[in-house]
Chain A
Amino acid sequence: MVSRYEQTLQNLVESGFTSVASVGFNLPPIMARYAASDFFAPRIRQFIYLTDIELEHLPESPIQDNEFYKILGLKLWHDGSPYTGTMALEEPYLFNSLTQMMGIS
């Protein structure tokens, strides 16, 4: 599993990503930190949000000593999906001022 996680991070790096926010469903921090190290050099910045079933991994204070791995807090609100029909919206998802400006509405 750790090697697959390493490959997932590496795929992000090779696609031009230098930071990734993992919003729930996380590996235990020690495994995520291990996977983030590419021969002791940082592979990618990881910003972590924990779900309510991962509270055991919440540090007592914000992590300040590591620019490349930070547990930022809890994911209190679970997002939905416009395609599954579970996303709460205040305006049409594909027809709004932004999509009109971009010509994709």
Chain B
Amino acid sequence: MRMVRLLILLSLWVLLNVSCSSEHAADTIFIGGTVLTVDENNSVVEAIAIKDGMIIQVGTTTEISAMANSSTKIIELKGQTLVPGFIAAHEHPTLTAVFAETIDLSAFTFNSPDDMWQHLKQQIALADKGDWIYGMGLDPVLMPDLVLPSKAFLDKIAPNNPLVIVSQTMHSFWANSTAFAEVSIDNQTADPGNGSYYGRDQQGNLNGFISESEAASPFLDN
């Protein structure tokens, strides 16, 4: 009986290697699942084969299993669904990396404006006098009861430091009086353009708001 089992196993091993040479064999196959290919016909298949990090074939479990040899990694999906990876179609990973060590003000982190501002105040208290302070992620979309900060408000919470806050969209910025003074931007400074400008009150005085990166760039060079 033991000999019969050994012969069967040996035969299977030989069959695998004969049916699919290493040149054509997949490195990894996923079988036995529901695979959403999202191809032009939105095909749904059972299995896929990978070689050198690329999908080389999709099909039935039987078809894809034939692409395996003894060194192929076989992953049984057991009926689970496999979907393509997401595509981040509009990102700025460099900016994300730049702002990674700033103070997180995101609505993903804080449930309320009070909690978020309290956290910022705590972080400001830890900074040395005169150090630039950057907060990242102000989000009036996910935090609809958020009141956007005025220059007077930012002056009050950071009287001794230049403070710059960046919105989650990275299109809006806010700064306090110390930050404006540090970069020599005042009520008389011309706006870079119609879309990128410094917010002003009805008297033409800076109100702390900064629109778009060109106007914000002097504040981000520190």
On A, residues with C-beta under 8 Å from B are 1, 4-5, 7-9, 12, 15-27, 41-42, 67, 79-81, 83-86
Contact = CB atoms under 8 A, between A and B. Distances in A.
Given A80-B195, A83-B171, A84-B167, A20 B100 contact: no
Given A4-B101, A81-B169, A19 B95 contact: no
Given A41-B53, A86-B212, A12 B88 contact: yes
Interface residues of B, number: 29
A1 to B, nearest CB: 6
Contact of B93 (A9, A42, A79, A86): A9
A17 B85 CA distance: 5
Contact of B97 (A5, A42, A84): A5
Interface in B10-68: 53-54
12 contacts: A9-B93, A12-B88, A17-B85, A17-B86, A18-B85, A18-B87, A20-B91, A22-B94, A42-B53, A80-B171, A83-B172, A86-B211
B84 interface: yes
B127 to A, nearest CB: 20
Given A81-B171, A83-B140, A86-B211, A1 B89 contact: no
Nearest to B95: A25
